[in-house]
Amino acid sequence: MNTKFRVKTVRTIASPSNPDVTTYYAWTEFQDLPQGISLEVNPRKPKMNTSVAKQLITAVKSTDNYFDLNNRGIVITANNFKFHTNDSMAELDLGDDPKKFGILDGGHTYQAIIENRIHLPETTKKYVKLEILIGKDLDVAALADARNTSAQVSDLALFELDDKFDFVKEAIKNEIYANEIAFKDNDNKRIPIIELLKLMFAFNIKRFPDDSSAPVSTYSAKHSVFKDYKKEFDSNPNIYKQLALQIPKLVELYEKIQTELPEKYQEFKNEDGKTGRFGSVRGVENNGNFSTLFTQKTLSYEISIGFILPIFGAFRALLKEKDGFLEWNFDPIQIWEKAGLRLVQNTFDTDTNPQQVGKSKTLWQSNYRIVDSIQKDLLLAYFMEQKNN
């Protein structure tokens, strides 16, 4: 798709970390924003009936001219971009792959403008900022992960966060990352609270009790994690209060998978008689110094969470509630040793595009069944042993 449109101003910045990547910042009037830009690249599909979306629509329709200052704008990955100073026209080349080029972040903003700009008076001039990224080797999957790891500030503002995480703080007070968690959107700390909430959401057995459903929103709609936490807060029992006690084990499991996944990948490739280099897989980076988010253990690869989360979430099959507390039928670390190879093979046989993998409900469900089947085999063996004794 190629499109031309008028822009007010353009700024060009070459990435200091990767000179092959160029970012163009362009401000365009609402009425000039092109229609039809693909949203497939964005793991969060716009839902325009939410409270946040309704606030955006109100902001679009308002005669207030400061939209470009109050809104984060729209992030676009593109094949090429040109700006003609003689007539202030821009040419946006989105190539022929809508899963690689299009709106990476700001889909709600885009939809709100496209669908509601008709309501603005002709005399009202409003602008939106476009951040357009160009690069031959641009890792769109990694960018999608990074740009969608946290809820929007407006999501946070809807929930009074100041004293809503006391039980989480208590649960992790002895962990080495306890003082690294940002519990507010403006905390200058290394780990946003959403990262802990995602781990708990993936094990919310109250909402996802079996393989009939799956916590896909852990990957595809991070803002839903905040909303679920808010909805559950005044419940009795509150599943997140129960899950908070399991955070140390969840972190241990997540980082165990993250660390050993490359080895499991190579193992199943060798068993199948296939050749394959893990570092060449889309969404995997092996050039750099990497470490785990929570405990800062050294990693050989940076792996898209789209591959990790459907494996991690499968282990909720091992969790059960008893007397108001959650406990494990079996230690998930031990079950990872038994199920890890099958889980990794099932994940990468499904797809090698981390965005498709992370959003695949079918994959989340099938990985859950792998863990559950191993659990059932162990339980059966245990009962048979008890019977024979």
Amino acid letter, 132:
I
pLDDT in tens, 132-187: 999 877 767 667 666 665 555 445 544 555 568 899 999 999 999 999 998 876 56
Rounded CA-CA distance 53/112 in Å is 7
How do residues 233-247 score in pLDDT, each as one tens digit?
Answer: 889 999 999 999 999
Task: Note whether 33 and 122 are within 8 A (CB).
Answer: no
261-266: average pLDDT: 95
Instruction: Kindly report the backbone phi and psi dihedral angles of residue 258, in degrees, each rounded to the nearest multiple of 5, phi listed first.
Output: -60, -40
What global pTM score does this model have?
Answer: 0.66
- CA atoms lying within 13 Å on the CB side of residue 305: 25
List Cα–Cα distances, 133 to 24, 138, 266, 357, in angstroms. 7, 8, 33, 24
Contact present, 79 and 138 (Cβ < 8 Å): no
The continuous run of DSSP H or E covering 131 comes out as strand 127-134
Token pair of 191, please? Answer: 């780990």
How far separated are the first and last CA of the chain, in Å rounded?
71
pLDDT the model gives residue 152 = 53
Residue 208 has pLDDT above 70, yes or no: yes
How much is the pLDDT for 360? 95
**Structure token digits, residue 69:** 């200052």
pLDDT at residue 310 is higher than 50: yes
Instruction: Name residue, tokens 């896909």.
Output: 216
> Which stretch, 65-69, 211-215, 217-221, has highest mean pLDDT?
211-215
The three-class DSSP label of residue 135 is coil
Q: Using omega within 30 degrees of 0 as the cis cutoff, is the peptide bond preceding 192 cis?
A: no
Predicted confidence band at 307 (pLDDT cuts at 50, 70, 90)? very high
pLDDT band at 76 (very low <50, low <70, confident <90, very high): very high
Question: Which of 64-68, 127-131, 218-222 shows the lowest mean pLDDT across its residues?
Answer: 218-222
State the pairing for strand pair 127-134/74-78: parallel
Greater confidence (104 vs 328) lies with: 328
Task: Express each pLDDT in 327-350 by its tens digit.
Answer: 999 999 999 999 999 999 999 999
pLDDT at position 388 is: 77
Maximum mean pLDDT: which of 43-52, 287-296, 339-348: 339-348
